[in-house]
Homo-oligomer: A and B are copies of this chain.
Amino acid sequence: MPVITVEAMPMTTDAKRELVATLTHDASRIMQVPETSIYVFIRENPFDDIGVAGKLLSDIKKENASKK
The interface on chain A, measured as residues whose beta carbon lies within 8 A of the other chain's beta carbons, has a size of: 49
- With both beta carbons as reference points, the residue of chain B lying nearest to A4 in the complex is identified as B6
Residues of B within 8 A of A6 (CB): 2-4, 27
- With both beta carbons as reference points, the residue of chain B lying nearest to A9 in the complex is identified as B1
Is B52 in contact with A21, judged by CB distance below 8 angstroms? Answer: no
Known: A50-B40, A53-B24. A8 touches B2 (CB 8 A): yes
Residues of B within 8 A of A39 (CB): 1, 3, 7, 39, 50-52
**Is A63 an interface residue when CB atoms closer than 8 A count as contact?**
no
Is A41 in contact with B31, judged by CB distance below 8 angstroms? Answer: no
- A6 CB to nearest chain B CB (Å): 5
